[in-house]
């Protein structure tokens, strides 16, 4: 459609980043080089978990303020996760397109949000696999897989209490916790 968008490239060396920028940067596709590789990569994955929480809110028709709160807490937990597991404290990364911009886009229009909305409307009676087949035309949900991986990391370290929203999303998605509990964390 030739509409403007942007993407970061995580690169440990400016020279490598500049190569990628020269290859992909265009008038309608801006490429920003970011040195925080773990932050860029994890934002790209963790936003999908938060989008599941946003989709639960949409399926329950909780409204914009509730969804905004889930997104805000989700961003905090994304930052905390990156800092805890990768010792990265580059707050500027979250203001790149991989951070808050991609988080907002995914929580309002992404496939993880859409499928979580359907899951919530059916109160978990429809499986993720069923929803994926019916809705995604061969694409896969990243948020459900990432939620499982995140939970494995949190349990291994014993830090579940530091990530109450991530844990609640996982419990609703996989442990039959009522979807209405999305606001109780």
Question: What residues are annotated to the active site?
Answer: 47
Long-range own/partner contacts, residues 142-146 (CB < 8 A, 24 or more apart): 142/45, 142/48, 142/112, 143/48, 143/49, 143/51, 143/52, 143/112, 143/116, 144/52, 144/112, 144/173, 146/45, 146/46, 146/48, 146/49
Please give the Cα distance from 38 to 36 (Å, whole number): 6
Tell me the backbone φ, ψ of residue 102, rounded to 5 degrees: -70, -35
User: ∠ at Cα 56 (179, 106), nearest 5°?
Assistant: 155
Please give the Cα distance from 3 to 35 (Å, whole number): 26
Please give the Cα distance from 112 to 172 (Å, whole number): 14
Please give the Cα distance from 137 to 114 (Å, whole number): 13
């Amino acid at each position: 459609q030739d509409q403007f968008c942007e993407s970061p490239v995580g690169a440990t060396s400016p020279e490598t980043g500049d190569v990628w920028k020269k290859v992909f940067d265009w008038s309608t596709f801006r490429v920003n080089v970011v040195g925080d590789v773990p932050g860029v990569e994890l934002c790209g994955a963790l936003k999908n978990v938060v989008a599941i929480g946003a989709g639960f809110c949409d399926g329950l028709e909780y409204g914009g303020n509730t969804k905004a709160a889930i997104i805000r807490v989700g961003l905090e937990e994304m930052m905390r996760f990156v800092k805890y597991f990768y010792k990265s404290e580059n707050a500027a990364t979250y203001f790149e397109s991989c951070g808050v911009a991609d988080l907002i886009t995914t929580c309002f229009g992404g496939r993880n949000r859409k499928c979580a909305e359907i899951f919530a409307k059916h109160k978990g009676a429809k499986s993720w696999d069923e929803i994926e087949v019916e809705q995604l035309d061969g694409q896969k949900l990243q948020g459900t897989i990432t939620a499982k991986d995140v939970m494995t990391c949190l349990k291994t370290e014993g830090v579940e209490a530091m990530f109450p929203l991530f844990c609640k999303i996982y419990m609703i998605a996989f442990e039959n916790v009522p979807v209405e509990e999305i606001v109780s964390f």
